[in-house]
Amino acid sequence: MQQVSFSGTYIKPIKIKKITTNGEFVPHEVSLVQFDAANKADVEAIQQTFEEWSIFDNCFVELIRDIANWLHGLAKPQKDRKIFFLTNQQYGFEKLNPREILGEFMVWKPRRSNKVEVEVLQANPFHNYDAGEHRQYTKIGQSMLDEIKEQYAGKILQLRSDKYATGFYEKNGFIPDEPGSLDYTYTP
């Protein structure tokens, strides 16, 4: 892993799809970066993202912002809760541009547990499915979910779905904990 200058950790490139001028979606490389709670600039980037995205009803980045502030205020770092960005930026990480962030996700893996809680998985609302014909990117949520499955291979994943995202999670192997529930589990 490479340390980037805003103190988040560059993890690796991730492939999503970006629209071309003729309306086709083609592979596009973005950066997966892990949030560093000790760095105030990272907390501010999340705050700015929250301010940009929160105009949408189905936006859950407020939870990420609140947890980021809580983690930043702790005297001892928490290693069981992690926040990640998918950003369009390929360089210049010394100033993370919130408008280049395409997705954020947060996971919690309690020590000595084989279960991982996917607390938030949020594609940038300006680029998600609901953007319709104005959508510039696809596969943001899919790429984040695939990354979680890869990072926590062999672990049981649990999450609470938004009522509009249940089909997405079911398509990706998550099963409702009981009929009609928004609580989902993925067992590898």
CA distance 166 to 154: 22
Could you state, in order of their start, the residue ranges of all structural domains in the chain? 2-186
Mean pLDDT for each consecutive 10-residue tract of the chain (188 residues)?
49 95 95 85 85 77 86 82 91 74 93 94 82 84 97 96 94 97 97
Residue 174: predicted pLDDT? 98
| Whole-number Cα distances in Å, 83 to 1, 26, 47, 109 | 16, 27, 13, 12
Residue 7: predicted pLDDT? 47
Amino acid at 92: G
Residue 143: predicted pLDDT? 97
Q: In this structure, which CATH number among 3.40.1710.10, 3.40.50.1400, 3.40.50.1110, 3.40.630.30 belongs to the domain 2-186?
A: 3.40.630.30
